[in-house]
Amino acid sequence: MSQVDAINHLADIVNMRSHYIDAWGNHQEVTFENKKRLLGAMGFEVDNLEALQRTVYEKENSKWNELLAPVKVCRIDEPLSIEFSIKEVASAEHFTWELQIEDGDFHSGVLIPEELEVLESKELEGIRYNRYRFIPPVVPDLGYHKFNLRSRQSDSPVTGTMSLIVVPTRCFQPEPICDGGKVWGASVQLYTLRSERNWGVGDFTDLKVLAKSSGAEGCHVLGLNPMHAMFPHNAHAYSPYSPSSRLYINIIYIDPVATPEYEKSEAAKALMADKEFQAELERLRGVDNVDYPGVVAAKRRMFELIFEQFTQDLENNTERAQAFHTYCEKEGEQLFRHALYEALQEHFYAQDWSYWGWPVWPEEYRDPEGEAPAQFAKEHAKRVQFFQYLQWLAYQQLEEANNTAKDSGMAVGLYRDLAVGIDRAGTEAWSCQDLYTKDANVGAPPDALCTQGQDWGLPALNPDVLINSGYESFIQLMRANMQGTGALRIDHVLGMMRLWWVPLPGSSADGCYVYYPLDDLFGIIALESQRNQCMVIGEDLGTVPDEIRIGMSRIGLFCYRVFFFERNEDNTFLAPEDYPEEALATVSTHDLPTLQGYWQSRDIEVRDKLGMIPTPEMRQQQFDGRSEDRHLLLTTLQEQGIEYGELPDSGFGHPEMTEDLRSAIQVWVARTASRMMLVQLEDILGMTDQVNLPGTDREYPNWQRKLSANVEQIFATDGAKKMARALTEARNR
């Protein structure tokens, strides 16, 4: 087998696609060199022909050379069978099987392969292998189980272990949604919340205030930005979609004053009373964009003081200290590694700012299981505990916010957002180095808007390692983001099926699609959804293969529908009754213009000012298209019989966007067949500028712009109350 044949064959085996259809409908072939580089990024030895041929042989015949597959995901409504492979000469031997149930129950028995159904056979190096099907007499319930199989041959027994995951048919849906009822909610970027008492960034106490006030007006869900842990040492890394870890929470959202430790700490109260400190908090609250470095510096000072107070609880083993220890035990090794990473990164960054993450730490610290990190943990145990404590506070306060939402009458409560990937410099990548590739990122292929494609700067997840681990990291990820919340939005749900890999160094145009075990991942999502009583929404915008949409529908995973994009072939807006029922409908998102900004063409103006529109002709084409959209919007409202009152002239060649018109458009979306509908707080307040402008970095204040009103005022105005009543009425039609 030549190197070219071996590379092509190995790419097929690991589900790396050799071709794709581009945005213009053209068939594109992935070059040999690019496949070779990406296979190398997966960890395969691609430059040694002998090693490459051996890898191809082993991967191609793995189901024959391994007694059991590493994992099997089975739906509860499907017959359970276990497939295994052995040499035909061993088919008359007795094998002991064991089924270890998750709850501790145990079943076992004996099987003789030659008495079972033979599924297929194959001869390898002169030895004949058979693949058999065994149907256990016991069918386990939903959950994570283990199936063991071993021969009774004493001299060289054959053994194998398989993770057996039994999953439900559908995801959880709360009442009244599961019965066909329709609800509305509000979406909020938590950091944008203003209040008289916060520290210049929205926090979990602000979230509780919002939950109470919105719940009182009929809101049933609060959609949040990703809450993922960021980089405390580098406050300039604040994009919620490039986190350090998706397993833990951004500590910037902790309200340090809302802790028992603050109430007991004289030092903490003294800092809070300090005039200079109060002046700094006043400054942080007053600026229109979040000053992340300032907020982090202020909160860090208070965190140190309340943790020092908490050490007294630890020394006296109080009830609160015991609760902390229980949390740490439940989170186990993954929390310890997260806290250890934070302590190590803080340590090295204090020495030299060039230590931007674990890939540039001293070599001996880069392996989380190495001796150096273990020794550091012993010598800096209190510092590691400090970061565990902060995660505990964040977990508690987020859970309290969700409980407040439920207590206010919300059917769903908080709705979290799961980012598609992580920053390779962070704690999740350090803890799971074998899972994430060092030489490939994920992104998007070239299209009309980005002719060179996109590199998102997120390390690619290795599907081979994921499967061989029994999906352990994926299970932990789902569980961490579903616990203590009512709904989870999965960003770029297409990533459950395939991701566009970009070789490093290189261009996105040199990439290709790598496919993932969609049915297995969807099954695990459904299991964790039911266990955590958390409904799931998949962000499926853009061109999405039928397999994704069919799979989402099958398991009750809600799709995502944006009013601006839902059009008929003649470009008119899709009728409300034509929206899918199991869907979340919304006018806009954080990546799109606000309703006010859309109406005023503010997004086009900003992109033109930043040089993001190549030609004057394209700019005019976009302005003309927006003018047509304004006309279509008004026509659509009239056809639906939704009143919006008189519209004064804006002075810019189109009618003015009024409060009644904003409400009318939201009511139109509320009338859709979709069972969940969200309205952005920016659209309730009539704000113009969007919070994120894709394709920009520092040239636009992404993820910083605050709301125009304090959180206490948002649902206190007559306009907001009127819109809330109108949305409730529309949802109940």
Taking 70 as the threshold, does the pLDDT of residue 655 lie above it?
Answer: yes
Burial class (CB in 10 A: 0-12, 13-18, 19+), 732: exposed
Q: Taking Cα atoms as reference points, which of 520, 518, 564, 524 lies closest to residue 541?
A: 564
What local confidence, expressed as pLDDT, does residue 454 receive? 87
What local confidence, expressed as pLDDT, does residue 152 receive? 85
> What's the pLDDT tens digit per position in 250-289?
999 999 999 999 999 999 999 999 999 999 999 999 999 9
Taking 80 as the threshold, does the pLDDT of residue 450 lie above it?
Answer: no
**Residue 136 β-bridge partners:** none
What are the C-alpha distances in Å from 93 to residues 114, 132, 286, 579? Answer: 8, 13, 78, 59
What are the C-alpha distances in Å from 544 to residues 85, 521, 538? Answer: 37, 17, 12
Longest dimension (CA), the chain: 91
CB neighbour list of residue 718: distance below 8 Å, 6 or more residues apart: none
What are the C-alpha distances in Å from 328 to residues 244, 249, 334, 345, 392? Answer: 19, 15, 10, 21, 8
Q: Rounded to an integer, what distance in angstroms lies between the CA atom of residue 727 and that of residue 669? A: 9
Q: Domains for the chain: give ranges and CATH numbers.
A: 3-63 (no CATH), 77-167 (2.60.40), 175-732 (3.20.20.80)
Q: Quickly count: other Cβ atoms within 10 Å of residue 451's Cβ.
A: 9
For the full predicted model, state whether its pTM sits above 0.85.
Answer: yes
Q: Taking Cα atoms as reference points, which of 484, 415, 399 lies closest to residue 219?
A: 415
64: enclosing H helix or E strand: helix 62-65
> What's the pLDDT tens digit per position in 157-175?
889 999 999 999 999 999 9
What local confidence, expressed as pLDDT, does residue 154 receive? 64
What local confidence, expressed as pLDDT, does residue 389 receive? 99
What are the C-alpha distances in Å from 331 to residues 227, 327, 430, 521, 603? Answer: 17, 6, 17, 22, 43
What local confidence, expressed as pLDDT, does residue 533 receive? 98
**Residue 549 β-bridge partners:** none
How many helical (H) and strand (E) elements, i.e. helices and strands, does the chain have? 24, 24
Q: Rounded to an integer, what distance in angstroms lies between the CA atom of residue 488 and that of residue 438? A: 29
12: enclosing H helix or E strand: helix 3-13
What local confidence, expressed as pLDDT, does residue 630 receive? 96
DSSP 405-417: HHHTT-SSEEEEE
321: enclosing H helix or E strand: helix 319-351
> What's the pLDDT tens digit per position in 338-395?
999 999 999 999 999 999 999 999 999 999 999 999 999 999 999 999 999 999 999 9
Q: Give the 3-state secondary structure of residue 627.
A: helix
Burial class (CB in 10 A: 0-12, 13-18, 19+), 142: middle
Chain mean position to CA 424:
16
Q: Rounded to an integer, what distance in angstroms lies between the CA atom of residue 702 and that of residue 13? A: 41
Taking 80 as the threshold, does the pLDDT of residue 457 lie above it?
Answer: yes
Tokens of 210: 């919002």
Tokens of 462: 């290795």
CB neighbour list of residue 52: distance below 8 Å, 6 or more residues apart: 3, 6, 7, 10, 44, 45, 46
725: enclosing H helix or E strand: helix 718-731
- Mean pLDDT score, 23-33: 90
What local confidence, expressed as pLDDT, does residue 1 receive? 83
Task: Mean pLDDT check: name the lowest of 147-156, 491-500, 654-663.
Answer: 147-156
> What is the chain's Cα-based Rg?
28
> What's the pLDDT tens digit per position in 295-308?
999 999 999 999 99
What local confidence, expressed as pLDDT, does residue 707 receive? 98
What local confidence, expressed as pLDDT, does residue 150 receive? 95
> What's the pLDDT tens digit per position in 689-712?
999 998 888 899 999 999 999 999
Q: Decide if 82 contacts 68 (C-beta within 8 A).
A: yes
> What's the pLDDT tens digit per position in 83-135?
999 999 999 999 999 999 999 999 999 999 999 999 999 999 999 999 999 99
What local confidence, expressed as pLDDT, does residue 733 receive? 85
> What's the pLDDT tens digit per position in 486-526?
999 999 999 999 999 999 998 898 999 999 999 999 999 99
- What b-and-e string marks burial along 665-681, b requiring 16 or more CB atoms within 10 Å of the CB? bbbbbbbbbbbbbbbbb
306 compared with 648, residue with greater pLDDT: 306
